[in-house]
Amino acid sequence: MLNAVDNPALTQRKRYYERIAAYNLTPLWEVLHALVPPSPATPIVPAIWHYAEIRDALMESGTLITAHEAVRRVLILENPAVRGQSRITQSLYAGLQLILPGEVAPAHRHAQSALRMVLDGEGAYTAVDGERTVMRRGDFIITPSNTWHDHGNPGTEPVVWLDGLDIPLVQFLDAGFAESSDTDVQAESRPQGDALARYGHNMLPMDFTQTSADPTRVFVYPYTQTKAALLGIARSAPDPHFGHKLRYVNPATGASPMPTIGAFAQWLPSGFETVPYRSTDGTVFSCLEGSGTVEVGGKSLAFNENDVFVVPSWHTYRLQASSDTTLFSFSDRPVQQVLGLWREQKLPKPS
């Protein structure tokens, strides 16, 4: 292969590139293949975090810094391929947050949207814009963009939940704002369960209107309801690619609970294997019940309760349930769909 020393044309180009660099110019033809690839070429890699292996380290953080001092005591789940970038996919952040008995994570708000999936312990609460909800294992809780929120634990045991935020997406858009409250704990302006009663039972207040771009007013989706819905549809034959899978929605509009993050729950009966599938939204999974394996990127990753794993964009994957298994997952699918970018491929069953 000729190099610039052997080829006068390449030498001329190299000198040209060096001259135009002074004007902050770059030739497109040298980078076009990377900017417009034939298919998604993500740097994100498949990865798994085994909760049983990292729980002690998470609990140790509680001896090193208080929730008040840390503001949010969280260990970030960083994708191994992009360490130091505080992301689990290109557009999403994930972390495990710990709050100990008697602690309060002080009230603040920010442009980033957030979700919580309770994994370990009970007795803590989240408050969103003046309404509290008790956090129970498997509950899906959201704090939409620019809503005041604080967390507290008046109970007797540590509580851990999975955080999911659109931090990398908001960071990419240079659209981040944040504000701390004058008080650590919000004053309660609505009784617990008020939002669910007003907006979560196929009914709405008489004067209420909302667009699909607005986040839901229902900020807690109890696991008891999620599990009942999944077992209800499990009386029918499972979908070969998903098993029994449902998406969380804003009940007022049918859109995603948050415009930037979609969330899903699925139930796989013991012994069930999904047919290969891939989509452009890199997806974070958490096992709420059961166990199994995910085959992705040439790897077979075994998961158990509370484990978290990530399937990168356009990576073909299969799920195999070793026992009756419930999975929670979230991705940036709503953003991709609004922009007309989202794509999926349901592949045939291997012969």
Token pair recorded at residue 158: 């540590």
Answer yes or no: is 351 within a domain.
Answer: no
Encode pLDDT of 107-132 as tens digits.
Answer: 999 999 999 999 999 999 999 999 99
- In terms of domains, do 171 and 32 share one? no
Token pair recorded at residue 45: 């890699």
Q: What is the rounded CA–CA span in Å between residue 67 and residue 153?
A: 11
Q: What is the rounded CA–CA span in Å between residue 161 and residue 328?
A: 13
Dihedral sign (CA 51, 53, 56, 57): negative
Token pair recorded at residue 87: 């992301």
Answer yes or no: is 188 within a domain.
Answer: yes
- In terms of domains, do 30 and 149 share one? no
Answer yes or no: is 171 within a domain.
Answer: yes
- In terms of domains, do 230 and 336 share one? yes
Containing domain of residue 310, as a range?
47-346
pLDDT at 5: 58
Token pair recorded at residue 216: 């839901």
pLDDT at 2: 47
Mean model confidence pLDDT for the chain: 95
- In terms of domains, do 21 and 62 share one? no
pLDDT at 237: 96
Answer yes or no: is 305 within a domain.
Answer: yes
- In terms of domains, do 219 and 158 share one? yes
- In terms of domains, do 2 and 68 share one? no
Assess contact for 44 and 82: CB atoms under 8 A. Answer: yes
Answer yes or no: is 227 within a domain.
Answer: yes
Number of independent structural domains in the chain? 2
- In terms of domains, do 9 and 140 share one? no
- In terms of domains, do 56 and 27 share one? no
- In terms of domains, do 197 and 258 share one? yes
- In terms of domains, do 250 and 300 share one? yes
Answer yes or no: is 342 within a domain.
Answer: yes
Q: What is the rounded CA–CA span in Å between residue 324 and residue 336?
A: 31
CATH number at residue 233: 2.60.120.10
Mark 180-217 as b/e (b = at least 16 C-beta within 10 Å): eeeeeebeeeeeeeebbebbbeeeeeeeeeeeeebbbb
In sequence order, what are the residues at sequence separation of 6 or more whose Cβ sits closer than 8 angstroms to the Cβ of residue 182?
A: none
SS3 state of residue 134: strand
Answer yes or no: is 110 within a domain.
Answer: yes
pLDDT at 1: 45
Residue ranges for the chain with pLDDT beneath 50:
1-2
Which residue blocks in the chain are alpha helix, DSSP H?
8-20, 32-35, 51-64, 67-70, 167-172, 194-199, 223-233, 333-338
- In terms of domains, do 109 and 250 share one? yes
- In terms of domains, do 75 and 5 share one? no
pLDDT at 350: 80
Answer yes or no: is 260 within a domain.
Answer: yes
